[in-house]
């Protein structure tokens, strides 16, 4: 603690007014803190708590909890369930749960072969979804973002028709998103570079007045997986597609790096003398284990869905099996480097890798066994992701909801 003079520590010379202001400010900030505390308790509880349960768990008085619960009910952030019949005398306890179908956040994704939008409510239910497939390699960002706006407008209309209010949106992009100011720095497979995507979105009516944030798709997908899993809170998540991204989840939080640019495993080098990558370097992992390469090496078209490769592998097609094994070896090499660096013992493979599990994972595990220094003492396990297609959209919607949960006061004030 600082021992030097500071304005906050100086006695208030002008008497009671400033002390009174400070005290009022403290009270207000305490009320905001308590509101968040009560909301979090209800949203994170394993079984719906009553007001008395919340008072016991938080140390707040019953009266304070009741006032806060009433505010959260009025703002439609929580709901009351049927009262529990109880043996003892007195009023029956009313369990409290996250509100369903009242408020939602939208997750949107631009990927190389699809655009998607989904909305989640506070109960974690998906209340709207739209997917449009297409080929967005080396695309015109203005045209693509216009389609994104049209898709978001459809999702918004669905929500409005159901009487659901929207708290905000998050756009997942397959590239380097500047976490401070929002511009997209580079999405190699889209061919987009140094674009103020946030500004471009606001050219469309649907995004005006709606808070929109941007994030990297693999980091968002990793967040969705961390929420779905619930058991493991430290793992590497790999999102496989034409590009390959990773999310480093440490103690339940996605490690974003200084700028939010961590996890670009697709551009870690497998062989410096290898083929040219869309990023301009040579021998990147994407050129060995990205979807396009997997399909082409199997004699299939990159435009076909990954299910076609899975079917070929099921038939025992040798080219398909060899393509998958080669990709698995390259993926295992890159992952071994990462595990040696950050010390995690769980790897979760998502995106196109999950359905390839029976043919891909052994090759990955073999490389981890051979290359991870600590492997004899701590086995690195590899499993398929629990969250399927659209994980980044789900993670985006969750990120927006999380911000609301961490600071519900402004929403509550706006709803009063």
Kindly list the residues in this chain that would bind Zn ion in the complex (CB under 5 A). 267, 277, 279, 281, 284
CB of 356 vs Zn ion, minimal distance in Å? 21
Q: Mind giving me the DSSP string for 100-159?
A: SSSEEEEEEEE-SSEEEEEEEETTS-EEEEEEEE---TT--HHHHHHHHHHHHHHHHHHH
Residue closer to Zn ion by CB (options 55, 244) is 244
CB of 352 vs Zn ion, minimal distance in Å? 18
Please state at what angle helix 62-74 crosses helix 51-58, rounded to 10 degrees.
Answer: 120
Please tell me the distance from the alpha carbon of residue 78 to that of residue 48, in angstroms, as a whole number.
11
Residue closer to Zn ion by CB (options 132, 281) is 281
Alpha helices in 14-80 (DSSP H): 16-44, 51-58, 62-74
CB of 143 vs Zn ion, minimal distance in Å? 25
Here the tokens at position 180 are 């401070």
CB of 259 vs Zn ion, minimal distance in Å? 18
Residue closer to Zn ion by CB (options 277, 368) is 277
Are β-strands 212-216 and 165-173 bridged in parallel, bridged antiparallel, or unpaired?
A: parallel
Q: Which residue has the tokens 């993670």?
A: 395
φ, ψ of residue 359 to 5 degrees: the values are -110, -20
CB of 217 vs Zn ion, minimal distance in Å? 16
Beta bridge partners of residue 314, listed in sequence order: none
CB of 270 vs Zn ion, minimal distance in Å? 10
Please tell me the distance from the alpha carbon of residue 199 to that of residue 111, in angstroms, as a whole number.
19
Distances (CA, A) of 10 to 14, 23, 29, 131, 235: 11, 15, 21, 59, 47
Residue closer to Zn ion by CB (options 68, 289) is 289
Rounded to a whole number of angstroms, the CA Rg of the chain reads 25
Please tell me the distance from the alpha carbon of residue 346 to that of residue 252, in angstroms, as a whole number.
13
Residue closer to Zn ion by CB (options 257, 388) is 257
Residue closer to Zn ion by CB (options 262, 346) is 262
> At 38, is the secondary structure helix, strand, or coil?
helix
Residue closer to Zn ion by CB (options 229, 241) is 241
The answer for residues whose C-beta is within 8 angstroms of residue 59's C-beta and 6 or more apart is none
CB of 127 vs Zn ion, minimal distance in Å? 37
CB of 377 vs Zn ion, minimal distance in Å? 33
Residue closer to Zn ion by CB (options 236, 277) is 277
């Amino acid at each position: 603690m600082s021992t030097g003079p500071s304005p906050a520590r100086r006695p208030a010379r002008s008497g009671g007014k400033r002390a009174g202001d400070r005290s009022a400010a403290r009270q207000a900030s305490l009320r905001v803190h308590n509101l968040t505390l009560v909301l979090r308790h209800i949203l994170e509880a394993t079984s719906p708590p009553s007001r008395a349960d919340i008072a016991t768990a938080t140390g707040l008085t019953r009266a304070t909890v009741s006032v806060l619960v009433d505010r959260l009910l009025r703002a439609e952030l929580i709901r009351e369930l049927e009262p529990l019949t109880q043996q003892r005398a007195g009023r029956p306890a009313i369990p409290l749960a996250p509100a369903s179908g009242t408020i939602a956040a939208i997750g949107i994704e631009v990927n190389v072969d699809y655009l998607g939008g989904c909305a989640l409510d506070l109960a974690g239910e998906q209340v709207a979804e739209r997917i449009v497939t297409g080929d967005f390699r080396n695309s015109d960002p203005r045209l693509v973002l216009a389609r994104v706006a049209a898709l978001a407008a459809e999702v918004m209309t669905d929500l409005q028709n159901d009487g659901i209010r929207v708290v905000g949106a998050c756009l997942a992009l397959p590239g380097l998103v500047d976490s401070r100011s929002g511009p997209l720095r580079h999405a190699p497979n889209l061919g987009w570079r140094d674009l103020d995507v946030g500004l471009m979105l606001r050219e469309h009516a649907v995004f005006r007045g709606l808070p929109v944030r941007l994030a990297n798709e693999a980091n968002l997908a990793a967040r969705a997986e961390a929420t779905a899993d619930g058991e493991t809170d430290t793992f590497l998540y790999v999102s496989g597609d034409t590009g390959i991204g990773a999310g480093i989840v440490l103690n339940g939080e996605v490690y974003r790096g200084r700028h939010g640019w961590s996890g670009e495993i697709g551009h870690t080098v497998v062989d410096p003398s290898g083929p040219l990558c869309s990023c301009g370097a040579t021998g990147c992992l994407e050129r060995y284990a990205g979807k396009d390469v997997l399909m082409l090496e199997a004699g299939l078209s990159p435009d076909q869905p990954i299910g076609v490769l899975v079917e070929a592998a099921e038939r025992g097609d040798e080219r398909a099996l060899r393509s998958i094994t080669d990709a698995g070896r390259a993926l295992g090499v890159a992952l071994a480097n990462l595990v040696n660096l950050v010390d995690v013992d769980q790897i979760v493979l998502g995106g196109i890798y999950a359905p390839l599990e029976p043919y891909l994972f052994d090759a990955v595990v073999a490389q981890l066994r051979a290359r991870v220094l600590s492997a004899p003492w701590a086995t690195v396990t590899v499993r398929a992701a629990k969250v399927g297609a659209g994980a980044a959209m789900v993670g985006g919607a969750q990120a927006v909801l999380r911000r609301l949960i961490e600071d519900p006061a402004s929403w509550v004030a706006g709803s009063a």
